[in-house]
Structures are given as C-alpha cells and as structure tokens.
A and B are shown apart, each in its own frame.
Chain A
Amino acid sequence: MLLLLGLMLLTAAADPPGADGPPLRGPGLGFSPPDAASPSAPPPLLLRPQPGAEYAAPGVASARSAAEEPGRGGEEEEEGGEHHHHHGGGYRVVQWEWSYVQTPYIIATWLLVASVAKILFHFSQRFTTVVPESCMLILLGLVLGGIVLIANKKQLYQLEPALFFLFLLPTIVGDAGYFMPARLFFDNLGAILTYAVVGTLWNAFCTGFCLYAAKLLGVIDDRVQADLMDFLLFGALISAVDPVAVLAVFEEVHVNDTLFIIVFGESLVNDAVTVVLYKVYISFVEVGAENVQTADYFKGVASFLIVSIGGTLVGLVFAVILGFITRFTKKVRIIEPLFVFLLVYLAYLTAELFSLSAILSMTFCGIGANKYVEANISQKSRTTVKYTMKTLASIAETIIFIFLGISAVDKSKWAWDTGLVSCTLVFIFVFRAAGVIGQTWVLNRFRLVPLDKLDQVVMSYGGLRGAVAFALVVLLDGEQVKAKDYFVATTIVVIFFTVMFQGLTIKPLVNWLKVPRSTNRKPTINEEIHERAFDHILTAVEDIAGLQGYHHWRDKWEQFDKNYLSKLLLRKSVYRKSELWEAYQKINIRDAISVIDQGGNVLTSARLSLPSMASRASFPEVTNVTNYLRENGSGVCLDLQVIDNVPGAKVEEDTETHHVLAENLYKPRRRYQSHYSRHFMPLGEKERQDREVFQRNMKSRMETFKTTRHKRHKKERSLKKRRGSDTKDDGGDKPRRNVSWQDKDPVVVPVESEEDKAEHSDQEKDEDVGITFVARKVETPKPRPTSVPADVDGYQSPTAAHHSPVGGDSHLPWKGGLGSPPPCVSVEATKIIPVDLQQAWNQSISSLESISSPPPPAEPVHPRVIALSRLGGPRPASYSPSSSQEEAEEEEEEGGAASQEMQPLMSSLRPPGSLPPPPPPPPGSAPGSGRRRNPCVYLKSLVTAPPAGGSELHSRGPTQL
C-alpha cells in the first residue's frame, strides 16, 4: 500500500520545480493516464492529446529513465550533504543525483509538509475546536500555492483527477467503507438510498435547469457559453455531496450516529448517480443536445442501474474473496493486513475497469468483508489494518485539501462570473434544503424513528461539496464544454464555501440547535445483551403478527449468514462463536485494557510503595488494583470484595514486602532470541512487561471474582481444612498466606479454545492460543516451567490432564522446539488476546461452576483442577502441607458437598436473612485467620457467610489460574 501511495504521489509531483524534464503541458494538467482513469472520465475526454504521455504512463518509468541518464557515467554514490559534480570522465566520488530522486523526494516532502501542517494545527487546542482541519488545510494550500505561483510564475501543482481518483479517493473511501458501522448503515439503508438517489437527481436537475433559466434571464453573463446540456452537466457534478468533505467536517462535529450515517452514507452511495449523470451528459454534450434520442434516456437509466448494482456486486465479490483468503493466513500473519488493502483496492480498481461505481464497490467490499476479516485475522493485524488505513486516509485527505487550495490559486484555469457563482451557490443551497425536507417528509411516513427538524437542518447544511466535484470539473473537455473555465471557478468557490463557511459554522449551529450528539460511550454488557434480545424479540413479534418487516428479513439474512457465509468465510476456530460472545469478549478486553491503563499505575506505584509502609500496623493484603477498580466503578469490575486491614506480624510484613518486590520487579528472566526475522515479530521488552502487568491484573481480578463467588464453600472448606490440617499447621511462624503456591511456582495454565480440537496439533503459533496466567517465584532455585498443554486434551480428558502437566513437557508441540525454555512461560502461550481472555474467563468460571454443582460426567474442569493442584510441585514451605493428591480428592468431596448445599440456596433464597446462619468462624487462634478479606457484595445465589480464616488458602488454590 505504501508503494501504491508512493506511486500515486509520483504523479502528484510529476512536474517538479527546477526539473529539466519535459516542458509543462498546456493548461498545466499534470497528466491523465491513457486508460480509463476514473469512472467519470469518458473515453473522449481522455483522447485529448497528451504531450507528456510517455511521462504519464507509469510514473516509475520516468523516474527510471531519469535514473539512467546520470547513472550512465559511472557508479552512483549518494551522499546527502555535499555534492561535487565532476563532469567528464573519471570516478566521481559524490554526485548530485537530483533527477534520480526528484520524484519520490518531492512526494516525501509534500507528505512531510502536510503532516507537519497537521501537527501545527493541533498545537492550539482552542483554535482547532473552532476551525475544522479541512479549512486550515485549504488555507495552507492557498498560501503554498501562492508562494509557488510567485516563485515560478506558473502553477506547478494541481489536483490531478487521475491521482485523485486512482489513489487519493480510494484510500479515504476504503477506510470509510471498511470501518463503516454496518448495522447502522443497513438500518438506515432506505433513507440513505433515497437521499443518495432521489436527492442527488433532484439537486442535479433543479440546479441545471435553474442555472439555465438564470442564463436565459440574463443573470449569468453572456461570456458563459453554455446551453442546457452544459448546465445540466454542471448541475450533475456540483450536486453530489462529497464523502471526503463530509467525513472531514462531520468527524469533528460528532452529531448523533443516525444523522451521521445518513449524510455520510448518502455521500458514498450517490457516487453511482453522479458518475452516471456525468457520463450521460458528457455523451449528450458530445453528440449535441438535438441529436439525443429518447432511447438514450432509457440507456441512461439502464446505465445507472448497471453502474450502481454492478459496482455493488463487484465489491461484494471481492469481499467474499477477501474473507475467504484471510481464512488461510494463519501461517503468514505478517502479510495478513496486506490482503485487506490489496483486495479492497482491487475492488475499487476493478469497478473502475468496467466503469462501474468504484466508490460503491469499495464501500461494499469494506462493509461486507469487515465482519469476516476482523474475525479471521489476528489482533495485531487488526491493529495494523486499522492504523494503516487511518494513516493513509488521513494523509490523503490532507493532500486533497491542500491541493484544492493550491489549485484555486492558479488563475490561468478559471474565469470568474459573479452571476454564475452566486446563482450556483444559492441554488445548491436552496435545492438541498428543499430536497431534504421533501424527502424527509416522505421518509418519515415509513421510518420508525422519524427524522426531526433539527436533523433536517443539519442534513441540509451538511451538504458539502468537495474534491470529487473538482476532479470531475477539471476532467471536462474544454473543447466540448466551452464554459469549462467558468465552471471550474464556480466549483472551486462552491467547494470553498461549503467546506470553509459551512464547515466552520456547522459546529456552532449544531451546538446552538442542541442537536443530539453521539455519545462515545461503549455499550455495557447488559446493553449488548438487550441489543440482541431486542433483535430477537422484534423478529418474533413480527413473525407472530405475520408481518414481513425489516426485522424479519434481517433475521433471515442472519440465518443465511450463519449457515452458509460464515461457514465459508470464517475460520473454524471462530465460526461457532456467537456475536454476543464476541461483544462480551470485546468488553472484557476493553475492560482489562482499561484496568491496565489506569490500574497499571496503581499497581506498580502502590505496590512498590509497600515496603516503605511495612511498619504500618495495618497492611492491605491483596492488590490495590481491586480497590481502585471498585472506586472507579469500572464496567465489569469484578471486585466485589472489600479488603480488610488487619494488623499482621512483622514476619508477615517482611514476606509481603519480599513478595511484592518479587512480583513487581521485572527481572531479566531470559534472553529472548533476539534474532531478526522478517516474518515474525519478536516480542519487545515493553510488550512483555505489559503482558505481565496484564496477567497480574487479570489474575487478581480473577481471584477476586472467584473468591466472591465461592464464599459459600469457603467456610466449609475452612472447617474441613482446619480439621484436616490443624495438626500440620503448627504455629504461626510461617504465616499461611494467600500468596499461595501458584505465586511461587511457575505454573502455566493455558486455556484452549474448545473448538480447536481439530487444529490443536498445529497450534496457532500466533497469539490466538492461550492466555496464561503466570506467576513465578524468581528465587526458585531452578525455575521449572510447568505447563498444561493448551489444547483440548488437556482440558477435556482427565488422563491427559493428569500426565501432561508434569511429565508431558517434552511432547508439547511448542515446548520441544524452544531452545532455551523460558523460566516463566513459553512465548507462544502467553500472548494476550481476546479469545484467550474469554476462555480464561470461561475456565475460571466454569471451574467454579463445577464446584458449585454436582460435577456432571462431562465436566471438564475437575481433571484440570486436579492436575493443577498437583503440578504445584515444589510448594513453599508456608503452604499447608497436605499433599497434592489428597488435596485433589478433598477438592472433589468438597465440591460435592458444597454443591449439595448450594442447590437449595440457588433456587430458593431471596432475602439474605433467609440464609442458613453461617457457621461460626473457626477459632481465631488459627494462624492468619485475622488477615482475611471480607466479601462485600455477593450475587444472591452466591450469598455466603462471612469467610472464615484460612479459607482462601484452600479455596483459591485449585480454582485459581
């Protein structure tokens, strides 16, 4: 894609200042490619003699030829600073190779200027909130253009239609299409189509006819040699709302989603109308209005249908191809994003090739493929795609606006007529408003959510014209359309007026009218759940009422998608996940990330400060993150637990301190293979640290969650435990801490994707496999990584679980290959990714469920629990010395016992008072019993007695990841 960008910019800078290349062509047009450059460039226009054709064809060729000339002399050595240019023979140490690098050099300089300009605009926060960026860019363009004009007496740079249509526009449309909120788009499809088709036609015809009328009335000067056809043509190209301008302005305004999608969707979809109208009129202008036959009008209509539907189909076909390809990119993650760019761009080019609506094609390719691609590609690729698209779109937008400004300076190409300009301005504004009001009136009879007056005002006012119109008008043939220069001037004025004046004032207007804004709030889980629930409810009610409404068909489509399309286009591993699950997963990840964002700080700072507080009598036992979260009310905050501050012994504090240090200091645990690979990205140090922070956070959250959920058995456990281990638990010299074995031992608990059964042998090397909650004791003499394989077997079959943790290291697929096993965990297993998080969740929760309910035969958790508790291996001495085997058994009994007691509670209990009174807490003499946390919030069914001392130790052990 970068290459493409480079290519496109080659063309931009085709006429460098001071280049001794071919002389500038007549009207200063850089070039237009000999083949159909744009949908709107009908062949006749392109037949215009191109003096610079050889120059034009591929920008690269010119660069190459330029390269050969100086290169002929001898070896080239480029050295930035000084340059000696020895003519004549001999070896030249340093050469001035301007002509070789000029094109890319200029491109790069342009990009730099544009980017720096953006930086500068955003220096002043207050300024940018008032003035939209697009205005600033146009102004900058005007200034730059002025400078170039003064310096060169000639305008060297122009917004080239070919450059625009082939490179700049697709980057913006691709970004818009790919990230288009599909649901919103289709929910409002009716309105969008109406505005795009009917509205644009209305605007085009009315503007055309009225301008002609104005001409007849003498308002427009006689110098403007144009007849009805010319005006209709002009009306067609000036009437379409421009996606680039709309995006640029509306992105800053943040109107509500529906309003935005209608205006923006319209600007994308009306491309088909514009293209067809433009082409039809061009051909009419060519043959002359009097020769147009009735059949031609019908051809025009047919052509509209073909262009729009054909463009859409091309886009959908490419969407399917794209989805299908990304199904198989598991092994080539590094080029995964490339497929997205290439195919989306190819969708555009292919539509151009057949002179269909390229914007429609690209938009629908993006909309269609997004769902499948996002599900298929890895998290990193997703990020890459997102950022690359945004970067390209942003830079393309910048260039477009700057070039618009620059083009406006060049007086040689336009001719001013006040009548034409003012009439056009008035007409497009009036007809836009009239069209919107009329159509909305009709639409509101059908819409469930009517568009109110405010919406209509914003829609009328948001009818911005932009670079598409400019490129189209520049493409006009001056021979055929006599008034071209007038039209160019008018278009420029219209664009400037709409983008600058309306763009500048729309924000105050929206504020003043109090148009509902979009809230940037992400939906909560409950909202997501109800979102789905409503879809189904509405579908069901429609079905019951016997109506075949929107929901009915949407549901049909979803079933089709689920049964056929998703099967075809999604990887097996993601196919079976429902949307709700995905939403949940996203929320979870988002939440986890926000925990890191906010909590990361707290974690490190607060915890690291602990040593200094060691002398304090009360000592927060667990992490502060949970507290922090609680206070912040973070969405899925799982902290339902209050931390009791209980005085602890000095010994305990020391251990705590020690533990805190051990946990929080990042140690160079292993040398990561630092080899360079083009195909795999090594994990950065930073990333690993982030990961650890993440893991720790998640771990603590999980603990919290579980302890909360399972208070119920804690007390039992504790009783049991007390009984069982009292003898061994001699004295409090080694405090029993809930910093239990898993904190000391390297334990890897991978979590697999259940459905990956088929694929588990070829584990996705990438991060899609398992999340691992790792904790280790750095001081362990010989850190021994113990892992449960991240596959189904380890999870579902008890036997596998039994042997794999300890003995099975060698046969783990990814274990053998690793030269130096990391002390902590293998790289592959520890990446964090939504899937894993999700699964970790599931597992943590399901493992709890298994305890709280009679373990069904298929219950997969117990085995693993056992396995886990076994692989505890070298436990810290502080841990209660019940053997792992015993413990596992105990675990099971307890689970059973607990579940028996759980049952009645689950079903019947309502008021907390009705609970069976909790058994008295164990004797306070038990070591560590004072340092317990108190549960604070319970889900009803999990209501439990106040926890008893020592309980976590046990309850957390097996269930904790």
Chain B
Amino acid sequence: MGALQSLHGRPEYLDLAEKTGFSFEQIRVLHERFKQLSHNEETLRRSHFNEIPDLACNPIRAQIIEAFFDRRNYHQNGEGTVEEIGFEEFLVVMSHFRPPSLHMTEEQRENVRREKLRFVFNMHDTDNDGTITLEEYRHVVEELLSRSGALEKETAKSIADAAMLEVASISMGHMEPDEFYEGITFEHFLKLLDGFEIESRMNIRFLNMDTSTLCK
C-alpha cells in the first residue's frame, strides 16, 4: 500500500517539496499524519486539531492551531483566517519549523530568522495590524500561564505589563514626554529577540520514518 501511494503521490510531492523544502520521505510521513488527523478527508478543520490528545494540555494550543489557519503563514501575502486547510497549507505551516540547512550565508540566516520570527509574531498579533498590543501580549502570557491555574491571572497581567515596559525601554530608548508606545512592531520584535538564536531554536527534527503509529 505504501509503495502504491508514494508512486501515486510523487508528482504532487515534487511540487510540495520544492515549495517547502521537505524531503519526499518527510512529506509522505506528514501526509500520513495529515490523513490520520483528518480521518482521511481532504481538509483539516480546527476540530480535528482539538482532537489531538497530546495537545490537550498545551497552554497555547489555541494560538498554535490558529496559526495553521492563518493565511499569513502560507507565504502568499494573504490575510485573515480560513476554516479548513488542505495538505499543502498544513505542510507550508509545518515548514516554518524545518531546520535550516547547515551551510547558510549570513544573509540566508537572517532571512530564516526573520521568517521564523514572523511566524511567532503573527501568532501573537492576532488582529493582524502589525503590532502586538498590550492586550494581545497579555493574552499570550495569560495563555502561557494558564496551565498553572487560576491564580496566575493577575500575575500574567503583571508579567505582560512588565515585559511590555521592557519592550518600550528597549526599543524606544529615550521617549519624549508625550510619546506613546503603540505596541510591538515587527522591527521591535526582531530587536527584542536579538539574543535569541531562533534559527537554531525553532526547529523540529522531522523524521523520515513514520512514528504516527506510536501515537494513539
């Protein structure tokens, strides 16, 4: 069955492989997973994601799932969200987590970095206005802490506030008396996580073999 499928799927995979940089093998594995998640349908909906058992206790589950349905993450300059995604979109979003190749020029590295950070930025910037506002940031922190119980609500707020103040102090430097801090723009976001080696951090090792059988 596997052989038949891969034969059948090859031409389609070729296109995807070019687009996403995954190997055929990885695409095949991910396709298996896709079908498993979607119960052999063509598209995935949010409810499918919510069914993943391991995801259930992930505090920022909602944001991540949302990222899969976010047009901004499809490399197409789209905006807004969609209701269901096909395998291609699934794969494209996944490709944000592909480890970059070992030999990169400085420029490539910077591009990878921007791309990955853009993904995270989009995740935080829920209303797609180019800034992460305090409200949005608070939301992120709250979600992050949500696993720790109700107690953290206030804490989350204060942490987000402090973090925001920090952003303001880092990115704006000296502000004039009547200046306002709008929220984190992408440029500030880049600056903010300057010391963060995202190009080596935001990676997942996509295996060539199918481990989905191990998953319940």
Contact = CB atoms under 8 A, between A and B. Distances in A.
A547 B120 contact: no
B178 interface: yes
B170 interface: yes
A580 interface: yes
Given A533-B60, A546-B36, A581-B148, A526 B167 contact: yes
B177 A546 contact: no
Contacts of A906: 135
B151 A849 contact: no
A519 B196 CA distance: 12
Contact of A633 (B68, B148, B162, B169): B169
Nearest to B57: A559
A939 B33 CA distance: 43
Contacts of A779: none
Contact of B54 (A537, A543, A638): A543
B165 A939 contact: yes
A852 to B, nearest CB: 11
A625 to B, nearest CB: 15
B145 A540 contact: no
Contacts of A640: 165, 168-169, 175
A781 B163 CA distance: 43
B155 A636 contact: no
**Interface residue tally on B, bucketed by range:** 35 or more
Contacts of B78: none
Of A446, A547, A562, the most chain B CB neighbours within 10 A belong to A547
B121 to A, nearest CB: 11
Interface string A895-934: 0000000000011001110000000000000000000001
B47 to A, nearest CB: 14
Nearest to A550: B205
Interface string A623-654: 00000001001111110101000000000000
Interface string A508-550: 0000000000010101111101111110111111111111111
Contact of A937 (B148, B180, B206): B180
A754 interface: yes
A803 interface: no
Given A533-B140, A539-B58, A541-B97, A845 B203 contact: no
B112 interface: no
A215 interface: no
A360 B212 CA distance: 35
A584 B162 contact: yes
A546 B211 contact: yes
A125 interface: no
Contacts of A842: 154-155, 158
A755 interface: yes
B10 interface: no
A151 interface: no
A283 interface: no
A524 B166 contact: yes
A546 B148 contact: no
A122 interface: no
A338 to B, nearest CB: 32
Interface string A919-961: 0000000000000001111111111001000000000000000
Given A584-B162, A845-B161, A538 B192 contact: no
A578 interface: yes
B135 to A, nearest CB: 6
A802 interface: no
B82 interface: no
B177 A935 contact: yes
A62 interface: no
B54 A533 contact: no
A554 to B, nearest CB: 12
Given A529-B140, A529-B159, A543 B58 contact: yes
B75 interface: no
**Interface residue tally on A, bucketed by range:** 35 or more
Contact of B157 (A544, A849, A907): A849
B4 interface: no
Contacts of A584: 155, 158-159, 162
A448 B155 CA distance: 34
Given A527-B195, A530-B120, A545 B152 contact: no
A785 B29 CA distance: 70
Contacts of B158: 584, 841-842, 845-846
Nearest to B102: A450
A635 B157 CA distance: 18
B106 to A, nearest CB: 14
Contacts of A942: 134
A950 to B, nearest CB: 19
Contacts of A544: 33, 37, 49, 52, 55, 64, 68, 94
Interface string A730-758: 00000000000000000000000011000
Interface in A540-585: 540-552, 555, 559, 562, 576-578, 580-581, 584
A942 B196 CA distance: 29
A941 B164 CA distance: 11
A123 to B, nearest CB: 35
B187 to A, nearest CB: 14
Interface of A: 444, 446, 448-450, 519, 521, 523-527, 529-534, 536-552, 555, 559, 562, 576-578, 580-581, 584, 588, 630, 633-638, 640, 642, 705, 709, 754-755, 838, 841-842, 845-846, 849, 906-907, 910-912, 934-943, 946
Interface of B: 29-30, 32-33, 36-37, 49, 52, 54-55, 57-61, 64, 68, 94, 97, 99, 102, 120, 123, 129, 133-135, 140-141, 144-145, 147-149, 151-152, 154-155, 157-159, 161-170, 172-183, 192-193, 195-196, 200-207, 211-212, 214-215
18 contacts: A448-B203, A525-B159, A530-B120, A532-B144, A534-B201, A537-B123, A546-B33, A581-B152, A642-B177, A755-B151, A845-B158, A911-B182, A937-B168, A938-B181, A939-B168, A939-B181, A940-B182, A946-B178
Closest 3 CB pairs of A and B: A578-B148, A546-B212, A543-B54
